[in-house]
Amino acid sequence: MKYFIGNWKMFGVPRSIKILNKINSFRAKDKNRNKYRVIITPPYTLLEYFAKQFKNKRITIGSQNCYQKDKFSSNTAAISPYMIRSVGAKYTLVGHSDNRAEGDTDLMLKNKVKFALKNNLKVVFCIGENKKQKKNNQTFGVLKKQLVKVLEKKLNKNNIIVAYEPIWSIGTGKIPKQKDLLKTTIYIKKVLKNIFKKKSPPVLYGGSVDGDNIDTFRQIKEINGFLIGGASKSSKKFIDIIKNYYR
């Protein structure tokens, strides 16, 4: 099973549902529809509306983040995993580089993962190195630390997906060389197998994915799907990625 996850970031109002309607209509007719899942993560303001509209359809709704506490607390503007699940969302991103840059620590991320899983949310855990770390050949060390500091054997790996998003690639149009991405994906899966002592959870790639470069990625069978940013805000661009992947 492949995953195509759209991260809308700070984008979308209620009328933006027309984007999802077009993607849903495409999936209904797509002969490859049983080979992949589509997950869209809109901002908090749209979670309940979108989740209700697509409850029994071909798109699943997730959150872009969650707070590191379980249900309710006195933290102003915080949204807990319990609250996210209560409105019908089924996934949440955790550890996106945007949130790490805003102060998310390993301990915070560990709690986010723990409470998200406790509240029956599937977790898309994001990891990635920055430009300086890549230049200094620190990629593997950085990724291993990000994984082992947060994920534990006792967690339900069946509800965890890992998304590798090199920070230097996000929104830049630059993508890893095919051979480098293959090595990195294999390494990530090796670390995950050591953590869970079993088969690795799915590993996705994210970072400037579009309909033109998807052919480069689809040749790497170790990649189990994609976390898509800018292109997911356009139904045509998002659909083109799926079409070109299965052509």
Hey, what's the torsion of the CAs at 62, 68, 71, 77, to 10 degrees? -80
165 flagged as catalytic: yes
**Angle between helical axes of 139-148 and 178-196 (0-180°, round to 10):** 30
pLDDT digits (tens, 9 = 90+) for 13-36: 999 999 999 999 999 999 999 999
What is the model's pLDDT at position 93? 98
- Across the range 231-244, mean pLDDT stands at 98
Tell me if the pTM is above 0.85.
yes
Cα separation, 242 vs 3, in Å, equals: 10
C-alpha R_g of the chain? 17
Active site residue 222: no
Q: Assign domain 2-245 one CATH number from 3.30.70.2190, 3.40.50.12780, 3.40.50.2000, 3.20.20.70.
A: 3.20.20.70
123 Rama class: left (phi>0) / alpha (psi -120 to 50) / beta? beta
Quick one: pLDDT at residue 107? 98
User: pLDDT confidence of 198, banded at 50, 70, 90?
Assistant: confident
4, 37, 88, 238, 243 from 32: Cα distances, Å: 13, 10, 26, 15, 9
pLDDT of residue 117: 98
110-126 pLDDT per residue, tens: 999 999 999 999 999 99
Residue-wise pLDDT for 152-195, tens only, equals 999 999 999 999 999 999 999 999 999 999 999 999 999 999 99
Report how far residue 64's alpha carbon sits from residue 43's, in angstroms, rounded to the nearest whole number. 7
CB count in 10 Å sphere of residue 50? 25
**Which one from 96, 102, 129, 222 is the annotated catalytic residue?**
96
